[in-house]
Amino acid sequence: MTSTIPTAPTPSITNFDEIDRSILSLYNHRTDWSQTSIPQRLEYLQSCLDRLLAVAEDWTIAACTAKGIAPQSTLAGEEWIAGPISTVRNIRLLMTTLQAGGQLSPPDIWQREDGQVVAEVLPANLIDRLLYFGHRGEVWLAPGTVPTQGQIYREPTASKVALILGAGNVSAIVAMDVLSKLFTENQVVIVKLNPVNDYMGTYLAQAFEPLIQAGFLSIVYGDAIVGEYLCQHPQIETIHMTGSHRTHDAIVWGVTASEQQECKASHRHRLNKPITSELGCVSPILVVPGKWSRSDLTFQARQVASTIAHNASFNCASGQVLVTASGWAQQAEFLAAVRQELAAIPPRQAYYPGAQDRYQTFLDKYPQSQPLGTRTPEIVPWTIIPDVPPVAGEYALTEEAFCGILAEVSIDAQTAPDFLTQAVEFVNDRVWGTLSCTVLIDRQTQQKYHIELDTAIANLKYGAIGVNIWAGMLFYFGSTTWGAYPGNTLADIGSGIGFVHNSYLFDRPQKSVVYAPFRIFPTPAWFSTHKNLLGLARKLLKFEAYPTWQNLPAVVIAAIRG
């Protein structure tokens, strides 16, 4: 690899005439897409996969450059995984499902005692069992529904023109949203990239060139004015967005607070089109009290710290609220370990707009904040906020930081069962958002209180739940669903409406859960301490495209070196 590759130039704003032509072309080709057979769709996916592999390195270097990461550094592996590798995996899983006619049988499926159906989706095969040893991934279907899959392939319907308002933080988001709209919802797509990462358009256009040439996908650029024009365009039939709930409400209800209030009161939408969304979360980490060794404390403190540091904390799944039990004998020791691990992580460039302002607001609200580094115009230091009250309306519990903030909350509980009951009630009722939640529980406690843990998982109102694994990994797995827990409305949007990824094409998912060993070996790829992340990423890209026995040893060796 060459030492540096110039970042793609910032694209020009697409003018309205060009947007009109793009939308008209998509509108005219929407029937062609709905009539595209599964074998033809598989050809498109394979062609896109090949092109994505060819552009993956340039894609990653551009993202690294934009975020202040040296492309040859270990940390660059993070951008490989959060960009091309996640997208490659998503393509490959969709191909596997389409090869089964859109109704791929999960490894296992069962009905809980309460009647809810759960499908096991990970591990999918023997290679998965070795690579994700001790992991189990589940998709829980909406209560009272039967486990149907791939409705668009069972009952083909006319295609629609979908607008995707792309995210600016993780480069795989928009690519995987495109795949979801086209291949799981049967809709042709126009994408407006977020100005924060619109440099990605060059690489997305190269990777998805077959779909663009066929008239099923278009990429445009611009600011909020362009976004508003697209949203109101008469031939745009559905919308999906990733971003802020405030942006969502401005689109649906009005730009000003008074306009939104008036429109909500009269149930009058500015936008009368189906709109799905993924809008962030104040993501909690629940630490179930148990008897942990010193190495256990260090490992889990490292996991907590890594969820904050990943992508400079510009993730909707970044850990923001750390919930522990006041009666846990090791509470103080664990919180000290978290501080130590977080302080040891080098600072990251605060590349996402508004980070300094959001950070300053938290400092103003919480004078007891403890920065673990030096603040500069380019850096927001990792910061702990101790002793945040677990009360309704508390700022740190209701406002997504989207910078390196971790609020510590103590629940008045003595035992694991008591903590699980109270913590679930607390995060469901007093912590904003329903996207992602992580639960940490040692093996002995999990075995002793497995019924209480199962009840807690069932009662958690989050779309993605990780048990001993950062919930953000459910975004990567792809066979798990990604989206807010169902129940939000346009008037009270929360973390959004709808799911993406969902490579098994379940028609009515409720949430996904991944269970992992309390001590994952080797070092997880999302850990900030991974010593060979770039080497692992290079091997993982090839493996995710072609997960064969021949490609597995290189991944295992690279992972062990981490």
Per the model's pLDDT, the better-predicted residue between 157 and 516 turns out to be 516
Interval 67-79 mean pLDDT: 97
Whether the per-residue pLDDT at 82 is higher than 70: the answer is: yes
Q: Give me the helices (H) in 331-382, please.
A: 331-344, 355-365
Note the pLDDT of residue 426: 98
Residue 458 in 3-state DSSP?
A: helix
Tens of pLDDT, residue by residue over 88-128, are: 999 999 999 999 999 999 999 999 999 999 999 999 999 99
- Stated as kind and residue range, the H or E segment containing 53 is helix 38-66
- Decide the pairing of beta strands 405-411 and 370-371: unpaired
What percent of the chain shows pLDDT beyond 90? 92
Return the structure tokens found at 203. 């690489």
Per the model's pLDDT, the better-predicted residue between 156 and 282 turns out to be 282
Q: How far apart are CA 397 and CA 406, in angstroms?
A: 10
Note the pLDDT of residue 56: 98
Least confident of 44-53, 141-150, 363-372: 141-150
Whether the per-residue pLDDT at 361 is higher than 90: the answer is: yes
Q: Give me the helices (H) in 170-256, please.
A: 171-183, 201-207, 209-213, 224-232, 245-252
Q: How far apart are CA 267 and CA 249, in angstroms?
A: 13
Please count the other Cβ atoms lying within 10 Å of the Cβ belonging to residue 455.
16
Average pLDDT over the chain, rounded to an integer: 96
DSSP 516: -
Note the pLDDT of residue 263: 84
C-alpha 443 chain-centroid distance: 27
Q: Grade residue 364 by pLDDT with cuts at 50, 70 and 90.
A: very high
Interval 14-29 mean pLDDT: 97
Q: Grade residue 157 by pLDDT with cuts at 50, 70 and 90.
A: confident
Note the pLDDT of residue 501: 97
Whether the per-residue pLDDT at 10 is higher than 60: the answer is: yes
Interval 374-393 mean pLDDT: 97
Find, among 441, 55, 1, 20, the residue nearest to 220 by Cα: 20
Q: Grade residue 467 by pLDDT with cuts at 50, 70 and 90.
A: very high
C-alpha 556 chain-centroid distance: 25
Tens of pLDDT, residue by residue over 415-442, are: 999 999 999 999 999 999 999 999 999 9
- Give, in order, the Cα–Cα distances in Å from 304 to each of 416, 444, 471, 499: 19, 20, 11, 26
Residue 86 in 3-state DSSP?
A: helix
Whether the per-residue pLDDT at 2 is higher than 60: the answer is: no
| Domains of the chain: residue spans and CATH | 16-104+149-243 (3.40.605.10), 283-469 (3.40.309.10)
Return the structure tokens found at 51. 């092109």
Whether the per-residue pLDDT at 9 is higher than 80: the answer is: no
Per the model's pLDDT, the better-predicted residue between 65 and 267 turns out to be 65
Order of strands, sheet of 283-287, starting from the edge strand that comes earlier in the sequence: 108-111, 117-122, 136-141, 509-515, 464-467, 436-440, 283-287, 319-325, 405-411, 383-385, 370-371
Tens of pLDDT, residue by residue over 252-300, are: 888 888 888 888 888 888 888 999 999 999 999 999 999 999 999 999 9
The b-or-e profile of 112-133 (16+ CB within 10 A means b, else e) is eeeebbbbbbbbbeebbeebbe
Interval 59-71 mean pLDDT: 97
Number of H helices, E strands in the chain: 22, 18
Q: Which residues contact 261 (CB under 8 A, 6 or more apart)?
A: none
Q: How far apart are CA 288 and CA 446, in angstroms?
A: 9
Whether the per-residue pLDDT at 245 is higher than 50: the answer is: yes
Cα-trace Rg, the chain? 22
- Stated as kind and residue range, the H or E segment containing 17 is helix 16-34
Q: How far apart are CA 92 and CA 95, in angstroms?
A: 5
Q: How far apart are CA 222 and CA 19, in angstroms?
A: 11
Q: What is the dihedral of CA 214, 215, 219, 224, to 10 degrees?
A: -170
